[in-house]
Structure 1
């Protein structure tokens, strides 16, 4: 486990979210009782039930910065802008008040960049294959199907958007 990992445990059917602070401690937003940010021993936080770590493939803030953000909020005596413990952790890690955006919060411009990047990667891979005499025939076949592959990726993105939109209803 690393500092600033997003820790999830369950109290019955209700998930509880915190950020790992190191030395077996977790920082979390107590949205039910005190509406404050607390530090608790990991064993007490997880209530001996174990925990899971939510991975973030992209972190705008380095782990130490995420942890600093959590401690800064803890030191503030004002009303916190968080409505849930999950939102607090997402804010510490991503600077975002929407905890779901690590899954689906891309705008159209970002999606175009992703599509162009995938196309460049695939095209480069086919070019590398074509340079090797042993793989030229496979490269020709791959190049022929490249539009189908890219179309499939686009279809996957659109299906994911529909599924995410349905989940929000």
Structure 2
């Protein structure tokens, strides 16, 4: 549960960021917005570089993904052969061999895909993609970057209030 005081603090910070331009001159507001836009643009560039690096990792390991997928398909096909050979008692050992081979192939391929694709390729992209999405939102808000940050704080307070209301 998120405390009501924390939710109130989030809403106060959101109000300050979203309404700051009412209390300062337009000249200062323009300077602050330009400074914030430059900082967010730098974050966007860093995120783009991190995403490009991870895409290169994915491209580098593409052969491994294709081989792992082919092995997984081979395991599934060999698992289908188990039913063919289990009908006759003389070929039960062949069915057991196909079954074991299928399990080993599929588990090995799954571990390869999990290690290479998810852990090394996709998981490191989560934070840069999130930062990229936030930067894109902040750079294209019509009220400016600082007011956009206030909107994010307001959304966080709504999320916290929802979490309290649903008990999640």
**Is the TM value for this pair above 0.5?**
no
CA radius of gyration, larger in = 2
Structure with greater helix share of residues = 2
Structure with greater strand share of residues = 1
Q: With structure 1 as the length reference, what TM-score do the two structures score?
A: 0.24
Q: With structure 2 as the length reference, what TM-score do the two structures score?
A: 0.24
